[in-house]
Amino acid sequence: MLALVKPHRFKAALERYTVLEKVNNGYLDFDWGQLHYRSVNLHSDLPLLIMLHQSPLSSRNYQALLPHLSKRFRVMALDTPGFGQSDRPTEVWNVESYANVALLCADALGVDKFHLFGRATGAVFAFVASQMAPKRLKRLVLHGMPVYTAEERRDRLANFAPPYEIDDDGSHLDWIWSRIQSEYPWIDGSLATHFCRDFLNAGPDFATSYRSIWQYDLPASFAAGGAKLACPTLLIGGGGDRINFMHERACSLLPEARQAFLETASDFVAEQEPAIFATLLADFLDGCVESE
């Protein structure tokens, strides 16, 4: 178990990645539309890492992180369908449909086995993908894994993310800005502006992927499938994470998983401390994380 990870342990990270690869953008065509992704080294022979973001944001969350992973991986960070620059599906999707996107992207690259990372909503999709195709994953990283009670899921479906209306006077922009500020009181104007853009890209009904995980009983589904992890798994929590109370639930649900707790990390450590976060991910995915 990794009980605590402190920044001083990763000083070498700032020296290790001196030449950073450029982040590229691309699209894949599927029956439901186009999927946008950010990537580094995508057509190299390095191990493939696919990354899934939290809702209602986008792969922009990993723009700063990807170059720091480029020495050891080819990385594909996806925009969840309906978010970022990806097309919205033409019908309502369940968790399995969202999870399957990672598998389809690996197929498109001709890759059988790969690493998978997910943050928050994306962590649920990543976990479900691992249960759907256990033989295809090398290692799995779940950052801020949400594990809801039945009561919480009902409440979220009813109250958490109602659609907004586009108003001629632009008051919907103020609504989005106020929502971001209420969820993240510490946020600065630059990061909040990026979030606002992601909200606008998602459209007035920005909770489509949220609803899929609130309608999904993760503990019950995991138990029904035999309660067995598909591959070596790392759970990451953060002391400044808005859903850090979920970390203990995830650790209880997945006791065989390794655990890392970043004492001062927010939800967005990937873009706030990219070199440190990249080292944590790379060391686990390469199989060289030591237990404490």
The predicted pLDDT at position 290 comes to 44
The predicted pLDDT at position 60 comes to 97
Q: What value does the mean pLDDT take over residues 175-204? A: 96
Domain ranges of the chain: 7-161+207-285
The predicted pLDDT at position 16 comes to 47
Between 14 and 136, the more confident residue is 136
| Helix axis angle, 95-108 to 121-132, nearest 10° | 70
What is the per-residue pLDDT across 214-247, written as a single tens digit (0 to 9) for each? 999 999 999 999 999 999 999 999 999 999 999 9
Q: Which of 249, 257, 259, 261 is nearest to 232 (CA)?
A: 257
The predicted pLDDT at position 11 comes to 46
Q: What value does the mean pLDDT take over residues 197-214? A: 97
CATH fold for the domain made of 7-161+207-285: Rossmann fold (3.40.50)
Q: How far apart are the first and last CA of the chain?
A: 6
The predicted pLDDT at position 20 comes to 73
What is the per-residue pLDDT across 20-53, written as a single tens digit (0 to 9) for each? 789 999 999 999 999 999 999 999 999 999 999 9
Q: Judge whether residue 15 has pLDDT over 70.
A: no
Q: Judge whether residue 262 has pLDDT over 70.
A: yes
The predicted pLDDT at position 287 comes to 83
Rounded to an integer, what distance in angstroms lies between the CA atom of residue 1 and that of residue 258? Answer: 5
Q: Judge whether residue 8 has pLDDT over 90.
A: no
Rounded to an integer, what distance in angstroms lies between the CA atom of residue 151 and that of residue 121? Answer: 18
Rounded to an integer, what distance in angstroms lies between the CA atom of residue 225 and that of residue 175? Answer: 41
The predicted pLDDT at position 21 comes to 80
Phi and psi, residue 24, nearest 5°: -105, 155
